[in-house]
Structure 1
Amino acid sequence: MNEFDLIAEIKARTPAGSGVVLGIADDAAVLQPTAGMQLVATTDNLVAGRHFIDSGENRATTEEIGHLALAVNLSDLAAMGATPRWCLLTLTLPEADSSWLRGFLDGFLALAAEHGCSLVGGNVTRGPLNIGVTALGEVPSGQYATREGASVGQRIVVTGTLGDAAAGLKLEKPPGDPLRKRLLKPAPRIAAGLELAGMADAMIDISDGLLGDLAHMVGKLGAEIRCDQLPTSIALAEASPDRRERCSLQFAGGDYELLALVAEGTELPDSAGGVRLTEIGRVTDSGRIVCLDAGGRPLETNESGWDHFR
């Protein structure tokens, strides 16, 4: 199997999508955005050994890698309140392995189909395993969400549950385990993002860690987080019964939930896009982020967020 065989395999499994004037097989794709919409673009890379375990008994499956590669990009679109439309895929592979590619495409294209995101092009080359994805979405003109807009008194709200991904990584769970699924097959909160964009003053996806991502939002302001209110899954509660250890996992990142700042007077529903919403704190003018226990006492934390160069 050579480069062109790989491309042919990808093309054969990629259906024509809405708005695709010219897709895979030319020098570039030609796309037709919907009238009255603005394009939202994002890109991300997965590096073997850094973003997923690529060796050992519990290494990531090719299907999990394919899902994760697209999911992290769709999560960015969710945080902007955008609807996924198209994506491009760049694969750097050690060898032209048809079995690896088929497994990868199983995960990648299943998630793409779920969210109506058409694969329209990309690149394939030889080298150490590295996966790059660019995703394009649409949002009604001027109605995108951003991470800016923090003000004192806003409620801090998260979707879903926190800490599952970090627990899946730390405990090296096998395929099929719910914590491992949250680590390698996160669910992009597209529907929740669309709903929250209409009520939130600011929004971001929690990829680098709750406190680090919150710091990006509040800037020179501050925040109080109630650790006893952090949403916890049954799987995490069973795997990590110690509250302090569990709280540390919930700060670690990789959950790809949405973090939103909502004005105090805004009515907050119990869920958005079918996903639970939980208020976990408030924006303050303290200039720092403080985590409080159930009694309102400050806790020491050292989870500053993920840094790719650290």
Structure 2
Amino acid sequence: MPGEFDLIRRRFTRSVTHTDLGVGDDGALFTPRAGMQMVVSTDMLVSGTHFFADVAPELLGWKAAAVNISDMAAMGAEPRWMLLALSLPHLRDEWVAAMASGFHGCCAGFGVDWVGGDTTRGPLNLCPTIIGEVPHGQAIVRSGARAGDDIWVSGVPGLAALGLRALRDDLPLADDWRERCVGALHKPTPRVALGVGLRGLATAALDVSDGLCGDLMHILERSNVAAVLSDVEWPLQPLIAACGDALLARRTFLAGGDDYELLFTAPAHRRAEVEALSLRLALPLARIGAIEAGSPHIELLLDDGSRLPMNTRGFDHFS
């Protein structure tokens, strides 16, 4: 059976393209490009909390990399370097090889050098750290939303939540949608090109990991504004087609997590630019509401013009 250092040499040592010194020393060396700010984030995946223990290791590796790359996308940054701290209850070489293949595959697909990390014995836990770059002063943060901004979201939030329900609760899904929903859960696509395209256009952004309304509240609280949502342009039809239940579709759109789509705000007068970006990237972007002045809260605009306060609680690991 391979030991820790043999494991690192055989499974975690990969070629690099923009790194001065990668795996094999006490630390990695890299040189940031001129005029760039560094962006650093970490997002942990724990067995039984973030994934089923029997998930395919290659998919798990991909997702561990993808959710961290998504944090870079949310800030308009280019992902550049990744580390992985890994806790394993048992050293199973075949499992580690598949996980490392998925992790590296996602990194390579988005131009990320895998430059190091750590391994230890313990409960199954993957904790990547990602480092990216963004032109100085152009990072998209959560505190920039202003009254009058549109609220946009990419893709179809809710697909991953339906996939989770299908696996956990045996929720019946249409045959041609089950694979797509489970795929959205296990193999999310970081919206890096969208994040880069939103530099100088979006006023605030984040990626949807804990539910759309709960995550929107993070923007509202950081920006000290309110939001009103209108369901006229919500992308509900794919969700309804998948589960056949319009009410469940609305709930999963608003409260489902794990899609890692980008939720962002942009000035209303730049709406045409957002729509042009959507066409250029061939990525659906839905305008789901607007930012208003006021204390942080979310309301739903009803057909008769009245408003309904919305439940804004997202997923919380400690509740």
**TM-score, normalised with respect to structure 2:** 0.89
- Counterpart selection for 2:301 from 261, 283, 292: 292
Whether 2:264 is the aligned partner of 1:255: answer no
- Counterpart selection for 1:280 from 259, 263, 288: 288
Whether 2:228 is the aligned partner of 1:224: answer yes
| Pairing of 1:30-179 with structure 2 (within 5 A) | 30-54=29-53, 59-172=54-167, 177-179=179-181
State how far apart, in whole Å, the 1-side matches of 2:109 and 2:34 are: 23
Alpha-carbon deviation of 1:232? 3.5
Cα deviation, 1:199-254, whole Å, max 9, x if unaligned, reads 111111111111111111122421111234222363x2222222221111112221
Which amino acid letter does the alignment assign opposite residue 211 of structure 1?
C
Specify which structure has the higher proportion of helix.
2
Instruction: Return 5+ residue gaps in structure 2 as ranges.
Output: none
2:241 corresponds to which residue?
238
**Residue 162 of structure 1 contacts residue 232 of structure 1 at CA under 8 Å; is this kept in 2?**
no
**TM-score, normalised with respect to structure 1:** 0.92
**Residue 299 of structure 2 contacts residue 307 of structure 2 at CA under 8 Å; is this kept in 1?**
yes
Q: Secondary structure at 1:128's aligned position in 2?
A: coil
State how far apart, in whole Å, the 2-side matches of 1:132 and 1:76 are: 14
Q: Secondary structure at 1:198's aligned position in 2?
A: coil
Aligned length: 303
Instruction: Return 5+ residue gaps in structure 1 as ranges.
Output: none
**Residue 12 of structure 2 contacts residue 100 of structure 2 at CA under 8 Å; is this kept in 1?**
no
1:309 corresponds to which residue?
318
2:184 corresponds to which residue?
182
Cα deviation, 1:123-181, whole Å, max 9, x if unaligned, reads 01111101100001111111111011122111001111110011110111799811011
1:268 corresponds to which residue?
273
2:17 corresponds to which residue?
17
**Residue 66 of structure 1 contacts residue 105 of structure 1 at CA under 8 Å; is this kept in 2?**
yes
Alpha-carbon deviation of 1:300? 6.4
- Counterpart selection for 1:203 from 202, 205, 221: 205
Q: Secondary structure at 1:31's aligned position in 2?
A: coil
State how far apart, in whole Å, the 2-side matches of 1:296 and 1:159 are: 26
Q: Secondary structure at 2:247's aligned position in 1?
A: helix
Alpha-carbon deviation of 1:275? 1.4
State how far apart, in whole Å, the 2-side matches of 1:28 and 1:169 are: 37
Which amino acid letter does the alignment assign opposite residue 247 of structure 2?
R
295 and 191 in structure 1: CA distance in 2 versus 1, 3 angstrom threshold:
farther
State how far apart, in whole Å, the 1-side matches of 2:237 and 2:105 are: 25
Which amino acid letter does the alignment assign opposite residue 20 of structure 2?
V
Q: Secondary structure at 2:287's aligned position in 1?
A: strand
Alpha-carbon deviation of 1:309? 1.1
State how far apart, in whole Å, the 2-side matches of 1:168 and 1:226 are: 25
**Residue 22 of structure 2 contacts residue 28 of structure 2 at CA under 8 Å; is this kept in 1?**
yes
State how far apart, in whole Å, the 1-side matches of 2:82 and 2:237 are: 31
State how far apart, in whole Å, the 1-side matches of 2:182 and 2:304 are: 32
CA RMSD of aligned residues (A): 2.0
State how far apart, in whole Å, the 2-side matches of 1:282 and 1:148 are: 15
Alpha-carbon deviation of 1:297? 5.0
**Residue 192 of structure 1 contacts residue 274 of structure 1 at CA under 8 Å; is this kept in 2?**
no
Which amino acid letter does the alignment assign opposite residue 61 of structure 2?
G
State how far apart, in whole Å, the 1-side matches of 2:16 and 2:274 are: 37
Alpha-carbon deviation of 1:295? 5.3
**Residue 41 of structure 1 contacts residue 134 of structure 1 at CA under 8 Å; is this kept in 2?**
yes
Instruction: Judge which range, 272-281 or 95-104, deviates more.
Output: 272-281
148 and 302 in structure 1: CA distance in 2 versus 1, 3 angstrom threshold:
same
Specify which structure has the higher proportion of strand.
1
**Residue 236 of structure 2 contacts residue 250 of structure 2 at CA under 8 Å; is this kept in 1?**
no
